[in-house]
Amino acid sequence: MYNIAVIPGDGTGPEVVREGLKVLAAAAGRFGFEYQTTEYDFGGDRFLRTGETLPDSAVDELRGHSAIFLGAIGHPGVKPGILEQGILLKARFALDQYINLRPVKLYPGVETPLRDKGPEDIDFVVVRENTEGLYVGSGGFLKKGTPDEVAVQESINTRKGVERCIRFAFDYVQKRNRDKKLTMCGKTNVLNYSQDLWLRTFNETAGDYPGVKTDYAHVDAICMWFVKNPEWFDVIVTDNIFGDIITDLGAMIQGGMGIAAGGNINPGGVSMFEPIGGSAPKYTGQNVINPLAAIAAVQMMLEFLGEDGAAAAVERGTMHVTGEKLPSLAVGRMGYSTSEVGDMVAARVRED
């Protein structure tokens, strides 16, 4: 029996979460697992009402769940940064979700902006470190607001944090079993300390994985290769900020934010799965937004719960819908409503 915490969040979050849960229910019926959900109302509305983002007591409650399914965080009435840091980043740090796993896979029928590239070319996974680097909030001001102002923002990288991320990535390459290749993405030509630690740890850890080919690319160059030769990549491991940036590029080449999902993983704890697009406030309540990213988040959640058969069926359902049904993933051009897209994937999962 799985206990799933559900945080629908802001904007269109609740609409896409509903479709994700619809597909989860279909998968449970078809594959015979049981679960229950607990809904939490963290997000912009609650913050505006109570001043609370994600209280410590809630973090303790979340810890008792098998997984967390998150819709979207971001509210036009709340100053940017408050909800992101107070909810999303707080959950990642407090629950020690030290991996942000982001598959970049072009499904059949989905349009990529890359001319001459197809599903056989775009299929890789980014393993982003999720609890260190520039995201720790270390730094400060001196003489703030004066002409002599100094601002420092430090990137903190620990041997333990870097190594556990790199090990996860090597293990993931083996489990994925495709090209058996891991590329480290960094900036060793400029960042002499942090990236030196990363590359040394990468090379040392590689010794434990003789069956895995290793490669290295600078972060600026990898942006170029994602566009020019995405077929070169199998699994990429990188730090928090580089991973943040390159996975937005990755999402675009797989068809946009309407299809991209991510998992915030703590392999020994509770992990959180989310569509990576935003809360799209202007489409709220219109039943027009694409739910496939939220459905892909459910797929990842099933995989991490060990329900591999169900996860694969959800992916087949998604590919059926992108390949045979939807003319486009874009709002206004899908030809179906949010709930109809969810219905089609769920129906396919039930028949799988």
Question: Of 134-142, 148-156, 228-236, 242-250, which part binds Mn ion (CB under 5 A)?
Answer: 242-250
Q: Note the residues at the interface with ligand IPM (CB under 6 A).
A: 84, 88-89, 244, 276
Please give the structure tokens belonging to residue 286. Answer: 């219109």
- What is the torsional sign of CA 25, 31, 32, 37? negative
CB of 84 to ligand IPM, least distance (A): 4
- What is the torsional sign of CA 317, 320, 325, 330? positive
Taking residue 66's Cβ as centre, other Cβ atoms within 10 Å add up to 16
Q: Are 8 and 14 within 8 A, CB to CB?
A: yes
Taking residue 138's Cβ as centre, other Cβ atoms within 10 Å add up to 13
| Tokens 């992101």 sit on residue | 84
d(C-alpha 12, C-alpha 330), whole Å: 15
Of 243 and 317, CB closest to ligand IPM: 243
352 binds, among ligand IPM, Mn ion, none (CB under 5 to 8 A by kind): none
Of 234 and 244, CB closest to Mn ion: 244
CB of 252 to ligand IPM, least distance (A): 13
d(C-alpha 239, C-alpha 195), whole Å: 9
Please select the residue that binds Mn ion; options are 234, 244, 274, 315, rule is CB under 5 A: 244
CB of 244 to Mn ion, least distance (A): 4
CB of 9 to ligand IPM, least distance (A): 11
Of 17 and 88, CB closest to Mn ion: 88
Of 86 and 186, CB closest to ligand IPM: 86
Please give the structure tokens belonging to residue 104. Answer: 């970049």
Q: Are 253 and 224 within 8 A, CB to CB?
A: no
234 binds, among ligand IPM, Mn ion, none (CB under 5 to 8 A by kind): none
Of 19 and 244, CB closest to ligand IPM: 244
Of 78 and 319, CB closest to ligand IPM: 78
d(C-alpha 268, C-alpha 52), whole Å: 28
84 binds, among ligand IPM, Mn ion, none (CB under 5 to 8 A by kind): ligand IPM
Please give the structure tokens belonging to residue 150. Answer: 């100094």
Taking residue 294's Cβ as centre, other Cβ atoms within 10 Å add up to 33
169 binds, among ligand IPM, Mn ion, none (CB under 5 to 8 A by kind): none
CB of 317 to ligand IPM, least distance (A): 25
CB of 148 to Mn ion, least distance (A): 33
88 binds, among Mn ion, ligand IPM, none (CB under 5 to 8 A by kind): ligand IPM
Q: What angle do CA 84, 267, 290 make, to 5 degrees?
A: 50
d(C-alpha 327, C-alpha 153), whole Å: 45
Of 21 and 88, CB closest to Mn ion: 88
Residue number of the CB closest to ligand IPM reads 84
Q: How many residues bind Mn ion (CB under 5 A)?
A: 1
Beta bridge partners of residue 152, listed in sequence order: 140
Question: Of 57-65, 119-127, 151-159, 240-248, which part binds Mn ion (CB under 5 A)?
Answer: 240-248
d(C-alpha 44, C-alpha 22), whole Å: 24
Chain residues that interact with Mn ion, rule: CB under 5 A: 244
